[in-house]
Amino acid sequence: MTPVTRVKYPSAALAAALLLGLAAPTASAHPGHRVPFTAATVTDHADGTSTISWDAPGTHRVTVRSEGRTVARGGATGSVTVPTRAGADRHWFDLVPDRGTPLRLADRLIRLQGTANFRDAGGYRTRDGQWVRMGEVYRSDALDRLTDADLAKLRRLGVRTVLDLRMESERAAAPDRVPVGATHTVADVLAGSGTFTSMPKSPAEAEAMMTGGNRFMVSGDTARAAYATVLDEIADGDGDGVVFHCTAGKDRTGWAEAALLTALGVPEETVMADYLASNTYRAAANEAALSHLPPDRAAVYKPLLDVRPGYLNASFDEVREEFGSFRAYLHEGVAVDAHQLKALKRDLLVG
């Protein structure tokens, strides 16, 4: 694996395309891959329809199937909008090319009454043309407000392991609700670190707090132990039915996701777009929080609510400065050896 490089903020159009899986790498996009899709996405809509888009160079025909029946057909590149079954937990679609391996996708967001940022960690293409499986690993904000219906839904989705990245004070104030039969494991990233224990006095101080916190998530002792637990659980548990979360699902959770995707070979630009997506999913909650503050206090608080390119770049900078490369971070920082990395890729990648 090459040394970590600084990730630049993508343009708005590119960020949206990467988030949706629509930006196709050019160097490795050839029909020799088992999975011929260089881009594919599913987007659910409030009107009870889903849009499925794809790009599969080298194919002639793609059949879209859902629940065992064909719902659409198209060529090597296509986008279709189809009605979906009301009441389904998720709307899954199989994109079946006339040559190569099919790809199974759903909308990334898991719609629950008690969360705003619960989403699938998969559905991304790696640099070498494989895809991260969906329906295996999830990331989320706090789970204390899950309703009984939410818990039943997560149980049907197969959530069996909850990894709680929050501090003791957060866990005591808002205990997790977990599906029946699921295990709950504490992986406290900031335990005893003193990070985020006081309010900043200016926007600049708030940004510095966030970048410092993101550096600690890489090299802090408790952070390294916590993320080692997360990656070990995913690797040893066949990556099946795991959800990791913090309070907002954006910082501690954001680095867990960034580390996982980077380990799997997802391009840096895609990792950044996934990280920044918390700004979209949490927009309403953040706006509500800021609306109750005076303008001067809102200006100080906003950097704490945002995810920004500089925050994630600070984590990758820390990787490079402390470990030299991401491969070294995996081995020395979070104790992921070659066997575990191979297990992660075997269980979570298709193609």
Q: Mapping DSSP to helix (H, G, I), strand (E, B) and coil, where does residue 243 land?
A: strand
Q: Which of 143, 190, 226, 246 is an active site residue?
A: 246
CA distance 220 to 213: 9
The verdict on whether 246 is a catalytic residue reads yes
Parallel, antiparallel or unpaired: strands 349-350 and 242-245: unpaired
Distance (Å) of CA 337 to CA 136, 137, 170: 21, 20, 32
- CA distances (Å), origin 188, targets 77, 176, 183, 185, 217: 44, 14, 16, 9, 11
- Residue 253 and residue 216 in contact, taking contact as beta carbons nearer than 8 Å: no
CB atoms within 10 A of CB 10: 20
Give 64: exposed, middle or buried? Use CB within 10 Å, 0-12, 13-18, 19+.
Answer: buried
Active site residues: 246
